[in-house]
Amino acid sequence: MGKLIWKPGTMIYPLPAVMVSCGADPGEFNIITISWTGTICSDPAMCYISVRPERHSYGIIKKNGAYVINLTTKSLAFATDWCGVKSGVKYNKFTEMGLTPVMASKINAPMIKESPVNIECKVRDIIELGSHHMFISDVVAVNAEEELIDKETGVFRLNDAVPLCYSHGKYYETGKLIGKFGFSVEKKKK
């Protein structure tokens, strides 16, 4: 069996499907689901989102230079999909999905309270790539759900919230632990 050679396409999967919230005041608040996102630098902490200019959220993020990446979980799967198929032109997505906006600590944008991790991002640069424009951003604050922090060890247990991932048009919950960083070179205890 060989490999088929396909034309260039978007084939890096699985990916997260995050809810990006934006807007300087309640009348402008919006949520857009984004899969073209990722970390691009550790120090300074930086990340990106790529957004089509025709999205309602595009102009809001560009004007304010700010947005929040809200990580999603199994219980947020419905809202994640809905915010990715409906436009803020017609709907208040916070109200429709029963999500709670809480103003971010360092930027002019709302966070989604129900998400376990809210990453506050300040836009540094916009690269017009083609179908999508890439917002390259500094992470200026991270808000983590206290209930997921182990009281004894201080370890953040994001996996307890069952993070969502997206692959070839489908959503999956993450699950079984199969190793930890460096396990391939770890010496076995005698």
Chain residues that interact with ligand FMN, rule: CB under 6 A: 17, 30, 32-36, 50-52, 55-57, 81, 84-88, 132, 166
Indicate the residue among 105 and 167 with the shorter CB distance to ligand FMN. 167
Q: What is the DSSP secondary-structure string of 5-61?
A: -PPS-----SEE-EEEEE-SSTTT-EEEEE-SEEEEETTTTEEEEEE-TTSHHHHHH
Would you say 51 and 30 are in contact if contact means Cβ atoms under 8 Å apart?
A: no
**Shortest separation between residue 10's beta carbon and ligand FMN, angstroms:** 9
Would you say 67 and 135 are in contact if contact means Cβ atoms under 8 Å apart?
A: yes
**Angstrom distances, CA of residue 125 to CA of 50, 103, 175:** 12, 23, 35
Indicate the residue among 35 and 70 with the shorter CB distance to ligand FMN. 35
- Tokens for 28, please give them: 């402008």
Would you say 19 and 97 are in contact if contact means Cβ atoms under 8 Å apart?
A: no
Indicate the residue among 50 and 143 with the shorter CB distance to ligand FMN. 50
**Angstrom distances, CA of residue 168 to CA of 4, 11, 34:** 17, 8, 14
**Shortest separation between residue 178's beta carbon and ligand FMN, angstroms:** 25
**Shortest separation between residue 59's beta carbon and ligand FMN, angstroms:** 9
Nearest residue to ligand FMN, by Cβ distance, number only: 84
**Shortest separation between residue 148's beta carbon and ligand FMN, angstroms:** 23
**Shortest separation between residue 81's beta carbon and ligand FMN, angstroms:** 5
Indicate the residue among 55 and 122 with the shorter CB distance to ligand FMN. 55
Would you say 50 and 36 are in contact if contact means Cβ atoms under 8 Å apart?
A: yes
Indicate the residue among 17 and 112 with the shorter CB distance to ligand FMN. 17
